[in-house]
Structures are given as C-alpha cells and as structure tokens.
Amino acid sequence: MFIRKRALERIAREKVLYERSPGGDVSVCVIYPNIYPLGMANLGFQAVFHIFESDPRVAADRAFLPDADERAQMRKTGERIVSFERARPLSDFDLIAFSISFETDYLNLPSIFELAGIPARSAERKGRGYPLIVAGGSAVFLNPEPIAEFIDLFLIGEGEEMAPEFIARFSEHRGDDDLLARLAEVEGAYVPEHYAPAYDERGRLRSFAYRGPTKPRVNRRLIDDLDQFKTASLILTEESVFGDMYLVEASRGCQWGCRFCAAGFMYRPIRYRSSENLIAEARHGLSERKVIGLVGAEMASVPGVAEIATDVAERGGRLSPSSLKADCISPKLAAALAETGARSVTIAPEAGSERMRKVINKNLTEEQILEAAAMMLGEGVANLKLYFMVGLPEERDHDVLAIAELTGKIIAGARERRQRVASVTVSLNPFVPKPWTPFQWDRMEDARSLKRKIAMLRSALSKLGPVELDAESPREAYFQTMVSRGDRRVSRILERLHAAGADDPGAIWHELQAIRRDIDSAAAVDLQDPDFFVTREYARDELLPWDFIDHHVEKWFLESERKKAHFEHQSPPCDVTRCTVCGAC
C-alpha cells in the first residue's frame, strides 16, 4: 500500500489552478506513459486531462507509469495500478486515454498494461469487457504504427476541438455493437483494425488496405487560433522536473524549416499566441512561480518576446525560454533576459560547419552565432548551452570537429572582450530520422561510427577549458529511430524488450542484439530485424508506414528539400501570408 500512500502525498502537494468538475457518467483515465515528475512537466498531458475533466459528461482520473521501486514492488506482490484521484483499477474505466509526447515512451505501454492486469494487444481485449484504449499526442501525430496493435483508436492531431467531439460521439454510442465504426467518423480518428498492412518479399510495406466505414486517409487535426485555448500550467507541483516554473506555451510549429525537425513540419503552418495573451498569462503565472518557462520549438522569433521578458523582469520574475535561434536574438532581447536574472541561455546551432548548416537548412551563419553569444555574455549571462547534432546526412569528420572549432571561437571571443564565461555545455544528440521531414528516408548512422565521432569531438573539446560535453547515447538514438520509423511489426519487438527487462537500458540493447542474431530462427516468429527500420535508407518510391496520415505537407515537397540538402542549398523560412508551396497553407 506504500504505492497509494505516495500518490496521496503527491496529491496533497499539488496546487490545482482551476475549478475541478464533479464529473459525469463516462469514466476516463488519462495516462502519461512515464513517471509522475515527467508527466506533470508536460503541458500536453495537463491540457488533455483538463479537456476531459472539464467536460460535464466525464469523470476523469490520472495515472502514470509507477516509479521504478513501485514497479519492482508491484511485480512481487501482484498489486495493480490504480488511478491517481480515486484509486480505481484501470480495468474499471470506460476509457483509457494515453497522452504520448515521445516515441521512446512506447516501450512503457506493455509495462503499464501488465501492471494494470489488462492484455496489451487490442485483439486479446476484444469482446471481454475491457476499457476502450485510445491514444493521442505529438508522438502519434507522426507515426502511431509501432503501437497500433495495442491501441483501439488513435486521435491524430491537436485535441482542443477533436477530443470534445470524440467524447460526444463515445457518450452517444458507447453501448453500440459498432462503436468503433461510429467513433471512426470523428475527423482525425484512426482505428487500426480497419487497416491491413501487407509486406513484400524484402519486408517492405507493399499495401495498407482499408476496410472501414469512412475514407482511408486520416486528416491530422490542427486548431487555427491558439489564443482561443489556454495551454499553460494547470496543476503545479514542485516534484515536476520544471517544478520551479510556471509553463506557458508560446507557439506551435516553427517557421525555419530545418530538415531534421519534425515539429517544423508536423505543426505547419506556424502559429503564435499573441504577445498580449502571453504577457497576461505570464503575469498570472508570476503569482504562483517566479520563473516563467516559455515553451515552443524556437522562442527568439516569437512576436513580442523581448517585451514579454521586460514585463516579467519589471514584476520581479525571470523568463526562461526553451531555445533561441541565434540570428533572432536582438540586443533588446538579450538585455531583457539578463534583466530577468537569467544566468544561462540555450542556443541551437545544430551543426558546427557552415556547410552542414546549409544541408540541414538552418539559415544561420557563424558570424550570427558568435554575435548572439557575445550579446548574451555581454549582458552577464555567463552560462551557455549549445545544441548540436552528430551523424547528420552528408556529414563528414571535419564537420564534427567544426563543433569544437565554433565552441572555441565563442570562448576566445569572450576572453578578448573580457566577458565572463562560467560554463559552456555542448549538448550533442545523434541524428534520428523522423517521419514527415525531408530526412524521413535517411538512415541513422550506425552506433559504432557515432561513438567514434563522439570520442573524436570529446578529445577536441577537452583542449578548450571549461567545456562540458553532454552526449546522448547512440544506443538510445537507435531505439528512438526504431520506434520513430517502424511499422506494426515493432510491437512484437516492444513486447520482447519488455519481457527482457524494459527498466534496464543495458537489457534493452542486449535484447535488440539478440533479435538481430535470431531473426532467421524459429525463435523470431513475426519479428523484423530492428536494423530494417534504423540503419536502412528507405526507397523514394516506398510506401511508408505513416503515409496514410494527411499532414497537408506534400511528399514531393519533402523530396525536393532532401535534394536541396544534397546540394547544400537552403530554403527561405515559411511565409504563411504568401507561400502555398508545401501544401500546409
């Protein structure tokens, strides 16, 4: 019972910033498929929980992946996951709704099903009185197929308008024999059992036959005006990974069109909240927290961001933007951030060399990066974090070493100007090809080659002084690529990884290697070699697992951007007032 005790302690420490509804007769448990501190830091999870809880037809609870010690205890005692608010077994709900922001959390679904006493596979639950399992969130916008065998219905797109439509349809038809067919009529709904994938002799997806009641192509839903909906912290807890912040969403999407970035394509067209709305929300947040976390893909280009930072500073608070594009950092913004008391800032050059920044369409010169760093350091922001990627398409060794060269120029320039540099952190992530980007066809570089490049860079950075390299493991990137670009056969891999010990990263990697070794044996029935999804370049004419989703971005446009990358040609940022080339506007 210590598991329930911990939940009650957490509830007691929370502060709910809205009027809670007593609820209706449709019971829904909204689950974040990771631990509580991560779930409560996720604005998407908080927003969708609020949508369900504020609906008068719904009695909504929350649940999370239990902490590691809780999972160990539950497997010893047979104790089941219960909901956060009412301590209700998950199997007792009408609906279980997963809010999934990161593909890597796909691996946690089998654990949650196991600990809830619910069969993981949709086919094994059918007709046996289990809750309807639905899923949404940014991860499933891109590619829901790796968990399609686990989920009865997906909601593809932003939920502010779609989720209430779904609730209304479920409330009307929940006793019907053809419930899934009726729910499929909600625009953005995807019912996996209505589709039948078939594969050719090489293992590639040959067809994706549809046998449902509506049209086969699923329209990804977006809302036009962000100001119509509040997306900010709704429940505060210091245990959240951003526990000292009040989070405010500033935008969705990104205008710059970086060719590796899913957010820049899946959320097209770019939409901003008005500066008046953001200032009002920040002022409200300052009554609860002294730090306002501004959330979005890129914050320096948000209209009025300098004024927002100034207003926060004048009220004794601090603005913490998620990431800043170097050429958008103005002297006014740098001064405003420093005025708020910011002592660290994140800049994302993504690549060290000018050539690679052209390949990825970063539209950013070395001079602009150095100027931005100089402005921030000149205002007293003494800690810099620099985001880079390794293993990008067209990358060579000298491009990797250029990361150290650029970092060295930032430090040398600061010394020449006698600016204080307390620390420089180089955050390095292996390139993961994402669906719905120009690089969706590209392979991930193999782990051995990436390790060599990281070691090479670490050696070069060690000569620069106060520089820390924070490099993501190529093994983690390998898994992320598999669940980003995989098809339904990945569900078998996820189940095998779960059985091998999903709580242990080492066990996951060992089991992936075992699958690759066993792939032609009887022990690997219905399994596909993980390398097939990770280190293989997809053919341009290949049917991709996510092609059935309509993101309103033309495939030929993505292909043309990939060709431009090969020739190191850049494209201008999105102009939503005039341009209709990609198809999103």
Half-sphere exposure of 378 (CA within 13 A, CB side): 16
pLDDT in tens, 321-373: 888 888 888 888 888 888 877 778 888 999 999 999 999 999 999 999 999 99
* pLDDT score for 170: 97
pLDDT in tens, 46-76: 999 999 999 999 999 999 999 999 999 999 9
538 near 441, Cβ under 8 Å? yes
Is 239 a member of any domain?
no
Which strand (E) or helix (H) includes residue 164?
helix 159-173
Mean pLDDT value of segment 72-85: 93
* pLDDT score for 480: 96
**What is the signed CA dihedral for 37, 40, 42, 48, rounded to 10 degrees?**
150
* pLDDT score for 21: 84
- Residue 352 buriedness (CB in 10 A; 0-12 / 13-18 / 19+): buried
* pLDDT score for 525: 61
* Residue 385 CB neighbours (<10 A): 17
Contacts with 51 (C-beta within 8 Å, 6 or more apart), sequence order: 159, 160, 163, 164
**Domain range for 22:** 2-219
Whether residues 137 and 100 share a domain: the answer is yes
* pLDDT > 70 in the chain, percent: 99
CATH assignment at residue 83: 3.40.50.280
Contacts with 54 (C-beta within 8 Å, 6 or more apart), sequence order: 18, 21
* pLDDT score for 342: 73
Mean model confidence pLDDT for the chain: 93
Half-sphere exposure of 436 (CA within 13 A, CB side): 27
Whether residues 337 and 451 share a domain: the answer is yes
* pLDDT score for 244: 94
Mean pLDDT value of segment 88-111: 97
Whether residues 294 and 161 share a domain: the answer is no
Measured CA to CA, the distance from residue 546 to residue 435 in angstroms comes to 7
Whether residues 74 and 133 share a domain: the answer is yes
Whether residues 80 and 140 share a domain: the answer is yes
Out of 455, 472, 489, pick the residue that ends a domain.
472
Quickly state the pLDDT bin for 524 (edges 50, 70, 90). low
Q: Is pLDDT above 70 for 40?
A: yes
Whether residues 189 and 312 share a domain: the answer is no
Helix/strand/coil for 18? coil
Measured CA to CA, the distance from residue 534 to residue 516 in angstroms comes to 12
Is 329 a member of any domain?
yes
Is 523 a member of any domain?
no
Out of 408, 441, 472, pick the residue that ends a domain.
472
Is 323 a member of any domain?
yes
Measured CA to CA, the distance from residue 129 to residue 543 in angstroms comes to 36
* pLDDT score for 523: 56
In which region does residue 341 sit, left (phi positive, over 0), alpha (psi from -120 to 50) or beta (all else)?
A: left
pLDDT in tens, 390-419: 999 999 999 999 999 999 999 999 899 988
Q: Is pLDDT above 70 for 2?
A: no
pLDDT in tens, 219-246: 999 999 999 999 999 999 999 999 999 9
Is 231 a member of any domain?
no
Whether residues 198 and 291 share a domain: the answer is no
* pLDDT > 90 in the chain, percent: 79
Q: Is pLDDT above 60 for 136?
A: yes
Measured CA to CA, the distance from residue 399 to residue 236 in angstroms comes to 43
Whether residues 118 and 249 share a domain: the answer is no
* pLDDT score for 211: 93
Measured CA to CA, the distance from residue 250 to residue 6 in angstroms comes to 33
Out of 472, 506, 538, pick the residue that ends a domain.
472
Mean pLDDT value of segment 468-477: 95
* pLDDT score for 343: 77
DSSP code string of 512-577: HHHHHHHTTSGGGTT---THHHHTSPPPTTPPPTTTTEE-S--HHHHHHHHHHHHTT---PPP-TT
Tokens 């209706």 belong to: 24
Closest by Cα among 128, 102, 105, 136 to 498: 105
CATH assignment at residue 443: 3.20.20.70
Mean pLDDT value of segment 176-188: 95
pLDDT in tens, 289-323: 999 999 998 888 899 999 999 999 999 999 998 88
Q: Is pLDDT above 90 for 519?
A: no
* pLDDT score for 503: 77
Quickly state the pLDDT bin for 22 (edges 50, 70, 90). confident
Whether residues 296 and 202 share a domain: the answer is no
Whether residues 313 and 462 share a domain: the answer is yes
Strands 153-155 and 189-190 turn out to be antiparallel
Phi, psi of 63 (to 5 degrees): -155, 160
Measured CA to CA, the distance from residue 382 to residue 370 in angstroms comes to 15
pLDDT in tens, 487-518: 999 999 999 999 988 777 788 888 998 888 88
Quickly state the pLDDT bin for 521 (edges 50, 70, 90). low
Encoded tokens for 295: 């959330």
Is 418 a member of any domain?
yes
pLDDT in tens, 525-575: 678 999 999 999 999 999 999 999 999 999 999 999 999 999 999 998 887
> What's the number of domains the chain is made of?
2
Is 545 a member of any domain?
no
342 near 299, Cβ under 8 Å? no
Helix/strand/coil for 327? helix
Whether residues 269 and 350 share a domain: the answer is yes
Is 542 a member of any domain?
no
* pLDDT score for 522: 53
**HEC string of 505-527?**
HHHHHHHHHHHHHHCCCHHHCCC
Whether residues 297 and 372 share a domain: the answer is yes
